Amino acid sequence: MADPTAPSDIPEATPTSDLPASFLAFLRAHDLPTDLYDQCRRQYRPHRYYRTAAHLTAAQSASLSTAVASQLNATVTAVDGVPGFWSVEPLGNDDQDVRLSQTAGYQVGDLYGIDVTSGIAVLALEVQPDDHVLDLCCAPGAKLCMLADLMRPRGIGEDRSSSTGHDARNGGGTVTGVDVSEARLATCRSLVRKYRHDNVRLFAADGTTFDAPAPVPAWRRPGPPKDTGGVDETRRPWRKPFHAPRLLRFENSQSATTLYDKVIVDAECTHDGSIAHIRKYDTWGWDKFETQFLDPERLNCLAVLQRTLLLNGWRQLKPGGILVYSTCSLTRAQNEDVLLWFLARCPGASLEAVPHCATFNPRPLTDLRLQYAVRFNPIETRTSGFFVARLRKPC
Ligand SMILES: C[S@@+](CC[C@H](N)C(=O)[O-])C[C@H]1O[C@@H](n2cnc3c(N)ncnc32)[C@H](O)[C@@H]1O
């Protein structure tokens, strides 16, 4: 990746831009338009999105949307073609923040605040109730919770009685989340607990080398579950998980090579596409953004990290399985270049169309080798800026 602080031949940004010099240099180095950010910061209010929990019936979701609209003084509309997603647009003219966390629906766990582009990345996995899914960069856990929720049966109404132990209505699928940051993983664990996902285990580990096999949950093994106090030859303990419900703490020793049905690599990136996030630095101070994201040494390592995460995700995927690679960066270096590198290295991998994005009409990528990958431009789509690609492993 180019050094964002290096001098560039690209003309200086418009004098009206008051973005900090280091960010402007980053944009120039990656050929990203400055006015996208200037517009977004000055006049543009991105929509907020939320997703309803799987257990809600269609009628309950509709009445929740009415309640959210009134609590937030906003228009709430179902997103066409993206099941379970709703868009929230404030009615007032002021730059009011949409605080989904203040709604009653959020507090009782009936809705999750998550951008629709992240939802599209998760839906691209086409998760089945009995899939074992690996999320290699899972924290703080928006996508992981959606994955776990998608394994629950849909529209069975609100039933808060099954808050402990395995929900027998689940299809036996599991989600394994991995993140290198324990602090962020702690947030993820709080979300998992809040939404009572009992089919999720979390590991504080490096996703570039993580290789724990997919679990065989206790409720799926033949015979009655044994007392874990004694020696049980059919089980061996996991490398210590950061969080795991009792039934996912052990694996069947014969499953040591079990790969995952689906893998998501929502890679660490510069977050430059997330306009909502970028706007916050006006308040937090841009020096924080510079140290967190624009450090030249970090930027140079990022491309290698993204490639290595993708490659390891691919290793953990079953033949015939689907892997989704996504970032909230708009740079070529973190998206197209990573994919082209990967496709050259794994020629059997096929890029497939990303479903559920027709309503946003994203522009197709000009490089025909990547025509199925999708870029969400925040101004054109009124979403967060995002990149998603779906890859299939040959059988
Ligand atoms: C874009 S965020 C993931 C967001 C998350 N998927 C979600 O939906 O909430 C990227 C995450 O990658 C993690 N990360 C960075 N390097 C990693 C590594 N080597 N292995 C695993 N996770 C890593 C970061 O700690 C960060 O939480």
CA max distance for the chain: 72
272 pocket-lining for ligand 1 (C-beta < 6 Å) = no
Of ligand 1's atoms, which has the minimum distance to the CA of residue 266?
A: 6
Q: In what order do the strands lie in the sheet with 111-113?
A: 74-78, 85-90, 48-52, 111-113
pLDDT at 246: 78
236 and 146 share one domain:
yes
141 pocket-lining for ligand 1 (C-beta < 6 Å) = yes
Count of CA atoms in the C-beta half-sphere (13 A) of 245: 21
109 and 166 share one domain:
no
104 and 142 share one domain:
no
- Count of CB atoms situated within 10 Å of the CB of 313: 27
Region 190-203 average pLDDT:
94
Banded pLDDT at 162 (limits 50, 70, 90): very low
pLDDT at 269: 94
**CA-atom Rg of the chain in angstroms:** 22
229 and 143 share one domain:
yes
pLDDT at 154: 74
151 and 86 share one domain:
no
- Count of CB atoms situated within 10 Å of the CB of 88: 20
The residue to mutate among 118, 195, 268, 388, having the most atoms of ligand 1 within 8 angstroms of its beta carbon, is 268
Question: What single-letter DSSP state applies at residue 359?
Answer: G
Of ligand 1's atoms, which has the minimum distance to the CA of residue 181?
A: 25
Question: How many angstroms separate the alpha carbon of residue 388 from the centre of ligand 1?
Answer: 16
pLDDT at 1: 40
Instruction: Determine whether 301 is an active site residue.
Output: no
Percentage of residues of the chain with pLDDT beyond 90: 55
Q: What is the pLDDT of residues 163-187, one digit of tens each?
A: 434 454 467 899 999 999 999 999 9
What residue owns the CA closest to ligand 1's atom 10? Answer: 268
Name the β-bridge partners of 235.
Answer: 252
Please tell me the least confidently modeled range out of 5-19, 257-271, 325-339. Answer: 5-19
CA angle at 119 for the pair 146 and 308, rounded to the nearest 5°: 85
- Give the DSSP H/E element, type plus range, for residue 298: helix 296-315
Distance separating alpha carbons of residues 29 and 256, to the nearest angstrom:
45
Residue 53 lies in a domain: yes
Dihedral angle over CA of 291, 47, 45, 289, nearest 10: 0
Residue 374 lies in a domain: no
On whether the CB atoms of residues 349 and 290 are closer than 8 A, the answer is no
Residue 273 lies in a domain: no
Task: Choose one of 224, 258, 292: the last residue of a domain.
Answer: 258
pLDDT at 8: 39
With 70 as the cut, is the pLDDT of residue 237 above it? Answer: no
pLDDT at 43: 66
With 70 as the cut, is the pLDDT of residue 18 above it? Answer: yes
Residue 149 labeled ligand binder? no
Residue 104 lies in a domain: yes
Of ligand 1's atoms, which has the minimum distance to the CA of residue 143?
A: 8
What are the tokens at 11?
């003309």
On whether the CB atoms of residues 19 and 69 are closer than 8 A, the answer is no
Banded pLDDT at 366 (limits 50, 70, 90): confident
Select from 230, 194, 204, 81 the least CA-distant residue to 138: 204
Distance separating alpha carbons of residues 200 and 133, to the nearest angstrom:
10
Q: What is the pLDDT of residues 305-356, one digit of tens each?
A: 999 999 999 999 999 999 999 999 999 999 999 999 999 999 999 999 999 9
Please tell me the least confidently modeled range out of 65-79, 130-144, 212-226. Answer: 212-226
Task: Choose one of 192, 225, 258: the last residue of a domain.
Answer: 258
CATH number at residue 67: 3.30.70.1170
Name the β-bridge partners of 264.
Answer: 135, 324
With 90 as the cut, is the pLDDT of residue 134 above it? Answer: yes
With 90 as the cut, is the pLDDT of residue 122 above it? Answer: yes
Region 125-139 average pLDDT:
96
Question: How many angstroms separate the alpha carbon of residue 102 from the centre of ligand 1?
Answer: 26
With 70 as the cut, is the pLDDT of residue 236 above it? Answer: no
Residue 261 labeled ligand binder? no
Task: Choose one of 96, 113, 130: the last residue of a domain.
Answer: 113
109 and 147 share one domain:
no
Arithmetic mean of pLDDT over the chain:
84
208 pocket-lining for ligand 1 (C-beta < 6 Å) = yes
Select from 17, 62, 49, 178 the least CA-distant residue to 119: 49
Region 44-71 average pLDDT:
91
ipTM of the complex: 0.99
Helix, strand, coil % in the chain, rounded to nearest 5 = 35, 20, 45
Residue 272 labeled ligand binder? no
Give every CB contact of residue 20 below 8 A, 6+ residues apart in sequence: 286, 289, 290
Per annotation, catalytic residue among 138, 328, 346, 395? 328
Residue 285 lies in a domain: no
Region 6-30 average pLDDT:
66
pLDDT at 238: 54
What are the tokens at 94?
């002021």
On whether the CB atoms of residues 175 and 197 are closer than 8 A, the answer is yes
On whether the CB atoms of residues 81 and 359 are closer than 8 A, the answer is yes
With 50 as the cut, is the pLDDT of residue 232 above it? Answer: no
Distance separating alpha carbons of residues 69 and 113, to the nearest angstrom:
14
100 and 149 share one domain:
no
179 pocket-lining for ligand 1 (C-beta < 6 Å) = yes
The residue to mutate among 114, 125, 137, having the most atoms of ligand 1 within 8 angstroms of its beta carbon, is 137
Give the range of the structural domain holding residue 142, as residue numbers without chain letter.
138-206+215-258
145 and 237 share one domain:
yes
Residue 226 lies in a domain: yes
Residue 186 lies in a domain: yes
Region 144-148 average pLDDT:
97
The residue to mutate among 180, 187, 192, having the most atoms of ligand 1 within 8 angstroms of its beta carbon, is 180
Distance separating alpha carbons of residues 194 and 243, to the nearest angstrom:
14
Tally of domains in the chain:
2
137 pocket-lining for ligand 1 (C-beta < 6 Å) = yes
243 and 195 share one domain:
yes
pLDDT at 257: 59
pLDDT at 168: 46
Residue 154 lies in a domain: yes
